[in-house]
Structure formats: structure tokens, C-alpha cells
Structure 1
Amino acid sequence: MRRLLAVTAGLLALSCAGRTKAPAVSSATAPAEAPRAPIPGMEHKPGEIVAEYDLNRDGRPDVWKYVTKDADGKEVLLRKEKDLNGDGRIDTWEAYGADGALTLVVYDLDFDGKPDVTLTYEKGQLVKKEYALGFDGASRSSSFFEKGKLVRKERDTNGDGKVDYWEYWENGEIDRIGVDLDGDGQVDRWETRKAVEGGETTAAQK
């Protein structure tokens, strides 16, 4: 009976500790398990104030909120960093503009400390989505949006750092495709939607 009471008391103590844990606030220092390389647009800046939050109540911070103070002493949100899988490493980064609107989100999907998907926002709307599905964190494919609609895709199919494939979209469908055959960054061959559907290609255009 005593043993049962002791175990019950211990569980109650742990439960209460989890409920009463408050977010810790410290000076502007990176989390202990920071990514291996800085994420472009997410660099730490002098004078930042960081607040740490333990949202899953495991005793370790999993969200970091970075702010600065304006001339009136009001907090201005700069960035958020998140550890979504609880492994102690950041896998999501968010950047905010001077008006407090979200401007950039970066996801590390394979948890290697490098960006895999990057979303760019303007005035609250998604304008660009980049995919870096290799192992170097470099973007290989980008999608562009206007008023929430996909208008263009660009790809680097051979990994040389230059776009060599373009898709232009209208009304949710591919309108035409451009291909760079000689690596000069210019379209050598255009394919229209009708030609693609019919298995034919148009003449080269430059």
C-alpha cells in the first residue's frame, strides 16, 4: 500500500510540474542544438531577445521566438525557430517583416540541418516555393504564384546551378514548356500544351 501511494504521489508531482512550467526568457543566443550552417535570411543579429518555450513539456525548449525593441520600446517579432520532432535540432524557421507579417518559412524535412522547402510570402500571400531535395541544401526546383495561382515552374535538372527547364501555367494547366539544351540559360526548344498532348514539339525559338 505504501509503495502504491509513493508511486501515485510521484506521478502527481510530475504532472503538476508539466502544467506549471513557464517559458524561459534569455539573452539572444542560439539553441544548444543549432543547425550545421546558417539558413539564408535566418541569421542571428546583435541585440535580439530570445524567448524559449517548451510546448511538449519534455523539459527541453522546442520553440524559440526572437524579437527586438523599437524606438518606443515595443517588441518587434523577427523570427521563430522550431523543433517539431523533438530531437533537439531546429527543423523549421520563420521570418517576419517590420509589419509583423510572415515573409519566409523554411522546412528541413530530412533533419540534416539544411533547407528542403522554402516558402516566400509577400503581403500575406505565397509567391514562391523552392525545393532543395538533394543533399546540399541548394534549390533545384521553384514554383511561382500570383494571387494564389501557380503561373510558372523552373528546374535545374542537371544540378549545375542554372535553370534549364521552364513550365508556364494558365488556368491550372501547362500552357508551354521551355528547355535549355546547351546550358547557356536560354530556351532552345519550346513545347506547347497541344504539342505535348499530341506527342509533337514546336520548332526551336530563341
Structure 2
Amino acid sequence: MSSMSKWVVGLALVGLCGCASDKGAKQPEVEKKEAGQPAPEPIRPKPASNEKVSERDTNADGKADVWVYSVEERGAEGQSHARMVRKELDINWDDRVDLTTYYDARGEREREAMDLDFDGKVDSVAYYEKGVNVRKERDLNGDGRTDEWAYYERGKLARKERDSNSDGRVDYWEYWEKDQVDRIGEDLDGDGNVDKWSRNSQTE
């Protein structure tokens, strides 16, 4: 089975969805730290001392592909219970985590990190409020910094921003209406302000 086929089957099993990503040349992590750049976030962080993990085998191949991390807490009346804080999934069954979901104190999903190119590092992160996706961030060139931001309103894509030259400043904006681009703003001189607007004639 091809890698892409495994992704499709794995996503069907766990009820998740993903997207593809391309990466440019990567700078060694040691050089990144010396240059003051953040190292990419690992898709599988080290467990905290108070976290307990349980494993699941969803495809019956004898190997774990889901790891659930929980911490012991006490309720208002002093009763003890386990609260899930993180879930890791190997959705293409290559024995490596591809997706990590973090949960808040209410048990609601608050952040979902994905490794799209199977290198063990986070490439894309989705943020949730009350279980609803409100923002997605992507590291397109593997330098540990976000290059693209997508903002959602009522579940619909409303705006995209991009740092296209990796200088740490947004220089490209897309505004969306009715599931399509309405207008595009570009910063041509690097001052952080839009210099050129383009409109989609189909939305006028």
C-alpha cells in the first residue's frame, strides 16, 4: 500500500482529515539555535512526570497506533478522576506519530498539531475555541516559524496571511467571501502595509 493510501485509510479509521505540504531545504537545528531561530516543535513531546499513557491498536496489527495521555485530578467533592490532556496518532501506520491533539480542562480540543512530511516535526497547527476551528498556522519552509496563517469565522475561511519571504513579517493577505477569494493585498516594499490590492471580479 502506498504512503498516500495509508493516509486515506488511516484518516477514515480515526475520523480525521489532513492536507499535503512541501518543504524547502532545512537548516540544521544547531545552526538555527545559534542564529536565534526557534527549533521546530516535535510532534511527539516528552511526557510530563504526572502524565500516564495508554496505548491502542486500531488496525489490529499488534502495534500501538494511538497513545492517550491523562493526568489524575480531583473534583470539587474530592473524588479522583483521570483527565485526558493529549492524544497522539500514527495514521499511516509507519510506527511514528503524525498527529497530536491537545485538550483543555473541559476535555475540549484546543490545539491539533500535524507532521505532514513525516520528519517528526510539527508543520501545521489548528487552534480551536469551544471545539470550533478558529485559526490554522503552517511552517512552510521548516525553519520553526509560522509562514502562513488562516483565520476562520463560523467555520468558514475568512482571511489568509503569509510571510512569503521569511523575514518574520506578513506581506500577503487574502480576504475570503462565500468560500472564494474576494480580494488580495500585497506589501511590495516590506514596510508591513498593503501597497497593492487585487479583487476577484467574480465576487463584484
Could you tell me the TM-score, scaled by structure 1's length? Answer: 0.68
Identity across matched positions, percent: 45
1:44 aligns with 2:72: no
Query: Which of 136, 153, 158 is the matching residue for 2:165?
Result: 158
Partner of 1:78: 85
Query: Which of 103, 111, 126 is the matching residue for 2:133?
Result: 126
Shift of 1:37: 6.0
Correspondence list, 1:24-173, <5 A? 38-39=41-42, 44-71=47-74, 72-173=79-180
Distance 1:197 1:63 in 2: 44
Partner of 2:193: 186
Return the letter of the residue paired with 2:181: I
Return the letter of the residue paired with 1:75: A
1:103-128 deviation line (CA, Å, top 9, x unaligned): 11111121001222221111111111
Return the letter of the residue paired with 2:129: E
1:133-177 deviation line (CA, Å, top 9, x unaligned): 323353322211010111101011112222110111223333322
Distance 1:103 1:134 in 2: 25
Q: What is the number of equivalent residue pairs in this alignment?
A: 162
Distance 1:52 1:192 in 2: 51
Return the letter of the residue paired with 1:61: A
RMSD: 2.7
Shift of 1:90: 1.2
Could you tell me the TM-score, scaled by structure 2's length? Answer: 0.69
SS at match of 1:87: coil
Q: Is residue 40–residue 145 contact of structure 2 (8 Å, CA) maintained in 1?
A: no
Distance 1:37 1:191 in 2: 34
Summarize the Cα distance change of 1:78–1:178 in structure 2 as closer, same or farther, 3 Å threshold. same
Summarize the Cα distance change of 1:89–1:137 in structure 2 as closer, same or farther, 3 Å threshold. farther
Gapped runs of 5+ residues in structure 1? 1-35, 199-206
Return the letter of the residue paired with 1:91: D
SS at match of 1:75: strand
Q: Is residue 118–residue 130 contact of structure 1 (8 Å, CA) maintained in 2?
A: yes
Q: Which has the larger radius of gyration?
A: 1
Q: Which has the higher contact order (CA 8 A, sep 6+)?
A: 2
Distance 2:200 2:65 in 1: 47
